[in-house]
Chains A and B, each alone.
Chain A
């Protein structure tokens, strides 16, 4: 009999089956009809984790090491190639590293449980040597060069370095050519042994997996380890921003801007967290979305284009909103954003404006639950924050206008920073 516990979400047509495996690994199975399946095996370990304690020992590691480790985990002691192991089963593998997590994945349309076994197997069998580390420095060095020329990437990390004084969210995920040169096989093992522990990991499966076979694969591959000995100190971050703005010059066609709004009042339980996310998304749609007076006024004046977007990013220890776009008058747009953030705090919110924004937000959320890859990826991010992704749509559906007004009251224009990429002269 299955030990998975099922929960249904009829309003959005989703279900999830949860299992706490004896190894300490949390397993989430999201059933889907159809052939396509997607699996993510992730660890709550990302670019932010540059300093940590293992027992009494404090460890400091070079920037970019989580991402470097992600690359190196695909190598096996017996010389077999991980991508080929998946391809032999008709599956396609990949991985990614973000500020707060690293995840290994495959997508497939058959051989689901055999592919799952390969995924769990290669992630739990690290093999690092000085030679493989040196090889990685060449490939990842090219990846870093690619990001150095990427204006979006530079705009983003420029902004984070203005918003945050201490918080490691501002650390570049890939690191630098200089920082990755300091990585050794020993430091990789230090990080691996600390963070790649089942209690610090989660497995999300979306597709036609069978619960009994999933548990059997976990039983076969995952050992029951000694308890996790990891101490994370919540990152210290003063309330104030680090710098009001940064400007860089690149070969780009038009000026690009990213305006950031830092948030300092975090905390609360999972319900409060979800309500904050839902209310922030609707508030942004009301005042900066496609139906807002702000967007339409600047669009019709030719100051803003369809490229404009707002993104709310949130972790347990930090949260911020990014207003991003391109404009010949980037500084004017940044000023308009600041003015709007200030003025809407005392403005009326009509029932109609609220309802239109809520519908658009709800629709976006439902549409984001289409493909197994999107569902699994979002689900894992939410799970590492202690949140249930499938409850977000319900939270938006039940949101009240007062919740949005309350959320807007937290917007503080003193916590705004700006990042600009301007065309190089002559471009």
Chain B
């Protein structure tokens, strides 16, 4: 996979390093993505592990001492989290830290960061061979609270419920934060087992963006992960799934002011599909950004909402259309969204509308690829799907898309589940 921004080295069967030199920013960015199959169980374990693994080690048996040591390394931030890409769960350990030249005393901060990672992975803080049960209970509460916090943001809650309903019984229905009750049932023994299983079987993608010695970094990462990588897991290939014969409509109620409408459709245009770029342009024309049909019509022309957008998951072909609306205008909003969908599918796309969509996508790619964290976020789904990780190539492919092929790709969408979270009925 040639790239104009990354060099990618396979360091072992289950460890690869993508390296991008970036002189524009003041920070270095090193991320290790541990890949796991997504399920309620794996997500619950990973979510709790994410709370544990960068919080203590045998070298730093107190959180207080560890936090002070990181602060002393010019505020180096090293933290873990979980996220999902299609049916893949990612446990991410990220280090963001100042480049050496901005440290007033010129310390080698990358070496300090690698030393912390070695301490976390190779010398975890164990009591009688397992994580400290008291610490596991404490962090299980924090991880479970994070999972429950989806309730606080009603738009996020609606979008999550929509996914759970549409993908019920499949891996994609699981939240990457796990399920609170499963997290709370995990024991120190079980977690310790999960920790070593993660290190010995989860394939790791490392991404570095910034300035450091590439060869030295590759050596250090090989040495670090080489202690564990033995039997790599096979991550199942993503699937699109099948839509029901008739659209499933679900309404749920809550004491809220604004209603949250989510329309879900399935598309075969995965990131690996020949028409992926055509679909990307079509979706931008339809609902991504401030010049889209949804923004211009549902919001600007009919004043039905403030937020409206269509969000596409190219890992598994899930298109989610979201609008925050007045509950009594639900039909009007749904009708207008479906009208604009039909217009896009029928190729009713003006020349400037089409070109604006391409410009928006091109500008977004150029912007993402200049910033370390967004470059990594842009690259990782491409790496996981085994496609080219090259902005120049993507821009070229997008610019070559014709209106007919864009419309054609959108005609392959199949409606699945329409969902609304709204104020309780009186």
Contact = CB atoms under 8 A, between A and B. Distances in A.
A81 B291 contact: yes
B72 A359 contact: yes
Residue from the set A293, A356, A360, A369 with the largest chain B CB neighbour count within 10 Å: A360
B359 A89 contact: yes
Interface stretch (A181-189, A248-256, A333-341, A406-414): A248-256
A7 interface: no
Contacts of A360: 71, 75
A256 B153 CA distance: 13
B255 A424 contact: yes
A12 B102 contact: yes
Interface string B277-314: 00000000000011100011001100111110000000
Contact of B104 (A253, A254, A369, A397): A397
Interface in A129-158: 135-140, 142-143, 145-146, 148-151
A312 interface: no
Given A145-B324, A251-B151, A13 B26 contact: yes
Interface residues of B, number: 66
A146 B307 contact: yes
Interface in B1-57: 23-27
Contacts, number: 177
Contact of B68 (A90, A356, A370): A356
A148 B255 CA distance: 12
A90 B290 CA distance: 12
A108 B155 CA distance: 29
B214 interface: no
Contact of A359 (B74, B145, B257, B289): B74
B366 interface: yes
B149 interface: yes
Contacts of A366: 26-27, 98, 102
Contacts of B307: 142, 146
Residue from the set A32, A302, A359, A397 with the largest chain B CB neighbour count within 10 Å: A359
Contacts of B346: none
Contacts of B403: none
Contacts of A211: none
Residue from the set A356, A361, A363 with the largest chain B CB neighbour count within 10 Å: A363
Interface string A105-123: 0011110000000000000
Interface stretch (A33-41, A163-171, A226-234, A383-391): A33-41
B63 A296 contact: yes
Nearest to B147: A253
Contact of B306 (A34, A109, A143, A296): A143
6 contacts: A109-B370, A150-B153, A326-B149, A366-B27, A366-B98, A371-B25
Given A33-B24, A81-B296, A143-B306, 15 more contacts: A11-B104, A32-B24, A35-B370, A88-B355, A88-B356, A109-B363, A109-B367, A139-B300, A256-B152, A290-B67, A296-B67, A359-B72, A360-B71, A366-B26, A366-B98
